[in-house]
Structure 1
Amino acid sequence: MNRYEEFLRLEENLKALVEACETGRIIIDFNKLDIFDPSIADRLLESPDEVITEFEKAIENIELPEHEKIHVRVRNLPSHRNIRIRNLRAKHINKLVEIEGVVKAASEVRPQIYEAIFQCPECGNQIAVEQKGVTLKTPAACDCGRRGVFKLIDTKKYHIRWLTLEEPYEITSGERPGKINVLLKEDLTTPEMQRKTDPGIQLKVVGILREMQRKVQGKVSTRPDIYFEALFVEPKEEEFEDIQITEEDRKKIEELAKDPNIYDILIDSLAPSIYGWREIKEAILLQLFGGVRHKFEDGTYVRGNIHILITGDPSTAKSVLLSNVVKALPRGRYVSGKGVTGSGLTTTVIKNELLGGWVLEAGALVLANKSILAIDEFDKMSKDDQVAMHEAMSLETISIAKASIVATLPAQTSILAAANPKLGRFDPYRSIVDQVAIPETLLSRFDLKFALRDIPAKEQDEAMVEHITRSRMYPESVKPRIDLQMLRKYITYARKVCEDIKMTEEASEMLKRFYVEMRSAYSSEGGSVPITLRQFEALIRLAEASAKVRLDNYVRKEDAERAIRLMKYSLQQLGYDVESGRFDIDKLESGITASQRSKMRIVLDLIEELETKLGEKSIPIVDVKAAAEERGIVGI
């Protein structure tokens, strides 16, 4: 009995082998192998093919229930074998390493021939030929001496799937992310594994870096392609698990959460170089923490992500704010509406011969799953590209059915968008629909909408320029109250420990009372509608996020008050009908206020009256204007 077999006969591994008869694989923990026999562990890193073959031979010597081939998988490599994709080099070829990345594209699962059986037409001898390339390799000659064409009589196949893995955004820190094609074989292509390796999912992959010869004008190139053959794939189930929180970090976070000024501390840590806009920063802070995703008995979900739209005048630091915010969350992404398409945001189907024809390629919304996507110049996107976001914003999924590929990808992504008014500056007397090139159906999916206005005011202007000059003279004066790394850890910890937030009776009554009283105050047939159920659901999400900031699993009165205050601030800016002096959600979401609808109805009634009175279908516009002015309506 050799050392390979001795290791497999350990009680824990023997039990795993019995289970492997069903699953088709045994997973070897590298740390345990290193403790058992360091020489085998070292050899596994340097010559993985040889060591895996030895383990497979050892498995054959062990009496097990009837089974198919058992594949040997390896996990928990030492940290020095965790290599960034962009740092993979020739020295890593045929070595065992670990990489990490987000699935950018994925092929369908397809059969692959790994051995072809040919028959000699003269002597009937059968010749087995191992297949490694993309084209079928035939025998050069038979043992009887015959050369030429041989008859293919049988093939042995396994299933494969190709992935394109891209380095996560938080690792690249603005650099161009590294990419590599990853080959999954056999038990790594089961339906269960297929779901775990769809585009947008972050993976840890242990495997062997391979080279693939390519031909140029029929000759073998001196520059082969490389790909990564996976031996073990581990989805990163917790979206923030790459952030390590020590016991010291946990104590500091819990101490901060008890501070009565914690909201101010965190707000001051968000883009401190930008002066003012505290209410908007507060709303974005709640967006980073997020609400709770609720699942009902019928299988439907109510999203927990908060979507925010910021519009306003030039030079109000919208772009700087967006680019700063995405750094607060792992996988956060920033894109510009000028350079992004609908497929770049959602997903698309591309043709890739290596990956096996048509494959899915994930867009920014999928790649930022469970994080935040900041979209600058949102109004510069085409209308068709904006409409592509509907499903992601409401259902948190991306569905696609193109080129025989039908798939639904996760997109639990918070959206922070910034847009500019068509005429340069924001006009409070006109609706946002008239001023920003965004469809009404998309506008209604944003929980909060804000306008950043540059209004001359001596005291405000003095304070702003003082802030800017001090930040240039004394950069430490705009230092965040807690650094970015601690902010990321704080948000990560809050999301982990506050997964099931309940609402107290007091907070529930306060939110319900606000909603009912707002609507009751405006109740009249055809009157303005100040708030709808969409805003009520947004209030709940905001209140849940407010509770997370305190690491509290209960939404309390102060959380409800904060949510109501921010909702009122948003409505006051963009949902206030100056003409009637009332809140009107229709001004915010459709661009037509109740007072405008009332005037439109009066004018339509006047036209019908004039048609009856004059007995004509065609009424001169001057007559309509005159009749309208008698009713007190001018300017039509």
Structure 2
Amino acid sequence: RIDFFVLAPERCTKNENGVKCGGTLVLSEDTTSVLTATLKVQDAVDFARFDEAPLEIPVILRGELAAEELTQGDAVVVTGVLRVSSFLKSSSAILTVYVEAFDVSRDVKDYRDLEITEEERKRIQEVAAGPDVKQKLISCIAPSIKGREEVKEGILLALFGAPREQNPDGTFVRGDIHVLIVGDPGVGKSQMLLAVSKLVPRGVYVSGPRASGVGLTAAVVKDEMTGRFMVHGGSAVLANGGVLIVDEFDKMSKDDRGALHEVLEQQTVTVAKAGIHAQLPARCTLIAAANPKFGSYQREMSLAENIDLPPTILSRFDLIFLIQDSASEREDEEIARFVLKKEDEKAPPFPPEFVRKYIAVAKSVNPVLSEEAAELLRKFFVEVRKKCGQDAAVKVGVRQLEAAKRLALAHARMRLSRKAEKQDVEAAISLMNFFLEEEGFLTELSQLEVGKTTKQVKEEEAVREILKKMSAQAGAEGVLEADFVITCKEEGYEERIVRKILEAMKRNGEVVEPKIGRIKAVF
């Protein structure tokens, strides 16, 4: 935002008739007011040295330049003169280097900035009308990685996105599609994310362990020159209109992940600090990758138990993919042949520049659901709800219906169609089924948000209560583990389930072993 204010000199240099003006700035007809704006320009990541943090320099815009429509995260080209100014701080002079700009223009940093010729538009329309357009575009996503077709298709549809819809009450329903990739180490998750960050015009790549909550959203800092507090947008704000890519998502702290709740659903960042109340846009697609907390994915455990992410975060992702490093002689042979291929043999059907322009043209298309497509989505939602049954702790709800709708509209965009047809909904449902059932990490659809059914939750609570009572009676020495298991079996619980719950409590620090073979509850 631009604030209009007058900077009065601290001390008047004029002395008329022996009387100083006393620090009062006198405005007269001869006074000229100039609109001024200050930009903080940072080195682009591509040009920064690998062993140094990106440098930052203030840029002063005056007159018409100050009215330029620039937003945080834009790449700009500035032409100007390097100047030096000084100001007093604690009786010391501080020199500040800045650029007085003569011209500023936005570099290509968004789909709307891409220059597309008529010939290129015709070529894009021909490709869209041709056969296997989806398969060809999927092949352009991380072409250095063999297979993972469903994951690449999900990422491709996330790049196209769906139109943003406005409700009658003035609120908006997001059109951006969020994707989470959960997989064993070494299956190509990070490489896939890096490939996406290079493919899109505005892609902000963040490593989870090194990202803080304010770094992802926004921070309030004090300007040294003016002493005023300013809002600095974080990664989500910088990715507005693009893609926010977060690697090692599970390694982020609980508080830092919590800062993304508003970004994922409302797509805004609200700041209320130091007398500043501002709401910054963060309309971006989030593509994240996470590792299982036990090193590799445990099939006998639910998704929520395998990754250290709360249900409130998981439920905001439209698609969650599981990638396992399973040994298969045929697949291993194909991967080895692919990796050992020459680089030119791995080339995708279209170059990255063409894919960017294809997506840019597609984003100008705002498809709507046909009656047949809407009916298919309705049936899908009803069937999913039936499969949940009464045993669901948290039922699959409207969020998953909205996710299927967004995927269908994105698929229609990919075809440059203004109407989402039956084939688009079928493609969306196929991906949703792959996400919900085919991978097998959700044994019941009701496990989507919490990873457990009501029956499992009740079993855990009952087993915990039994251990709590037995620990209170046994005292400091604890309970014999064998006696605890026998007691649970007498209460009607399977030994396999009891031991699974007990192992989970040991990992979480809820159970200690005072002596070998003895256990004690500490919750």
TM-score range, shorter chain: 0.7 to 0.9
User: Equivalent residue of 2:187, what SS?
Assistant: coil
Q: Partner residue of 2:58?
A: 181
Alpha-carbon distance in structure 2 between the residues aligned to 1:173 and 1:547: 42
Q: Is the 8 A contact 2:372 2:422 kept in 1?
A: yes
Moved more, 409-418 or 625-634: 625-634
Letter in 1 for 2:494: I
- AA of the residue aligned to 1:164: K
- Partner residue, 1:546: 411
The 5 Å alignment of 1:468-547 reads 468-470=339-341, 474-496=342-364, 498=365, 500-523=366-389, 525-527=390-392, 531-547=396-412
1:513 alignment partner AA: K
Correspondence 1:377 to 2:248: yes
Number of equivalent positions: 481
Q: What are the within-5 Å matches in structure 2 for residues 326-365 of structure 1?
A: 326-354=197-225, 356-365=227-236
Q: TM-score, normalised by structure 1?
A: 0.68
Please name the residue that 1:63 is paired with.
none
Partner amino acid, structure 2, of 1:508: A
Q: Do the aligned residues in 2 keep the contact of 1:308 with 1:416 (CA within 8 Å)?
A: yes
- Counterpart CA distance in 2 for 1:167 and 1:460 is 43
**Contact map agreement 1:110 1:161 (CA 8 A) in 2:** no
Match status 1:155 vs 2:32: no
Letter in 2 for 1:540: K
Alignment of 1:134-213 (within 5 A): 136-139=11-14, 151-152=22-23, 154-156=25-27, 158=33, 160-166=36-42, 179-183=56-60, 200=72, 202=74, 209=81, 211-213=83-85
1:439 Cα offset (Å) = 2.2
Q: Does structure 1 conserve the Cα–Cα contact (< 8 Å) formed by 2:109 and 2:201?
A: no
Q: Distance in 1 between matches of 2:163 and 2:215?
A: 27
Q: Secondary structure at the match of 1:416?
A: strand
In the TM superposition, residue 166 of structure 1 has moved relative to its aligned partner by: 4.0
Partners of 1:187 and 1:467 lie apart in 2 by: 55
| SS at 2:209 equivalent | coil
In structure 2, the residue matched to 1:301 is 172
Residue 110 of structure 1 corresponds to 5
How far apart are residue 164 of structure 1 and its match? 1.6
Q: Say if 2:384 and 2:445, in contact at 8 Å, map to a contact too.
A: no
Determine the C-alpha separation between the residues in 2 that align with 1:377 and 1:367: 20
Indicate whether 1:453 and 2:324 are aligned: yes
In the other structure, the counterpart of 2:133 is 262
Question: SS in structure 1 opposite 2:111?
Answer: coil
The within-5 A match list for 1:32-71 is: none
| Partner amino acid, structure 1, of 2:141 | L
Q: 1-side partners of 2:207 and 2:282: how far apart?
A: 19
- Corresponding residue SS for 2:6: strand
Q: Contact 1:313–1:421 at 8 Å: present in 2 too?
A: yes
Q: Give the AA of the match of 1:597.
A: V
1:205 & 1:458 partners in 2: Cα distance? 53
Q: Distance in 1 between matches of 2:362 and 2:353?
A: 14
Q: In the aligned structure 1, how far is the partner of 2:471 from the partner of 2:80?
A: 80
Secondary structure, in 3 states, of the residue corresponding to 2:292?
Answer: coil
Hey, what's the Cα distance between the residues in 2 that align with 1:275 and 1:205? 38
Structure 1 residues 287-339: Cα deviation after superposition (integer angstroms, max 9, x where no partner): 00001110112110000000111111111011110000122221111111122
Q: How far does the alpha carbon of each residue in 1:350-399 deviate from its partner, in whole angstroms, 9 at most, with x for none? A: 11223542111111100010110110111111111110010010001000
Q: Deviations over 1:449-483 (max 9, x none)?
A: 1111000110011101111111xxx1111101100
Residue pair 1:269, 1:480 contacting (<8 A) in 2 also: yes
**Inter-partner Cα distance in structure 2 for 1:527 and 1:366:** 36
8 Å CA contact 1:332–1:368 kept in 2: the answer is: yes
Task: Give the letter for the 1:228 counterpart.
Answer: E
- Of 590, 593, 602, 2:450 maps to 590
> For 1:617 and 1:275, how far apart are their aligned partners in 2?
53
The Cα shift of 1:264 comes to 0.5
CA-CA distance at 1:584 after TM superposition: 2.7
Contact 1:209 1:227 in 2 (8 A): yes
Q: TM-score, normalised by structure 2?
A: 0.81
CA offset at residue 162 of structure 1? 2.9
Aligned to 1:410: 281
Write the letter of the residue equivalent to 1:491: I
Per-residue CA deviation, residues 215-253 of structure 1 (Å, 9 max, x unaligned), is: 7998989x862233578x888999422211011110110
Seq. identity, % = 35
Q: 2: CA distance between counterparts of 1:314 and 1:326? A: 20
Contact 1:332 1:373 in 2 (8 A): yes
CA contact (8 A) 2:38 2:59 kept: yes
Structure 1: which 5+ runs fail to align?
1-105, 114-130
1:435, CA displacement in angstroms?
2.1
Q: Is the 8 A contact 1:291 1:545 kept in 2?
A: yes
Per-residue Cα deviation, 1:551-574 (whole angstroms, up to 9, x for no partner):
011111111011111111111266
User: Partners in 2 of 1:173 and 1:425 — Cα distance?
Assistant: 35
* Shift of residue 265, structure 1, vs aligned partner: 0.4
Give the letter aligned to residue 569 of structure 1.
F
> Shift of residue 590 of structure 1?
1.6
CA distance in structure 2 between the partners assigned to 1:171 and 1:291 by the alignment:
33
Deviation for aligned residue 1:533: 1.5
Residue 522 of structure 1: how far off its partner (Å):
4.2
Change (3 A) 1:443 1:574: farther
3-state secondary structure, aligned to 1:213: strand
CA contact (8 A) 1:269 1:481 kept: yes
The residue that corresponds to 1:47 in the other structure is: none
TM-superposed deviation, 1:629: 3.6
Q: Which runs of 5+ in 2 are unaligned?
A: 499-523
> Retained in 1: the 8 A contact 2:394–2:450?
no
CA distance in 1, matches of 2:345, 2:437: 33
Q: Which residue of 1 aligns with 2:311?
A: 440
Aligned to 2:317, the other structure's residue is in SS state: coil
- Change over 3 Å in CA distance of 1:214–1:203 after alignment to 2: same
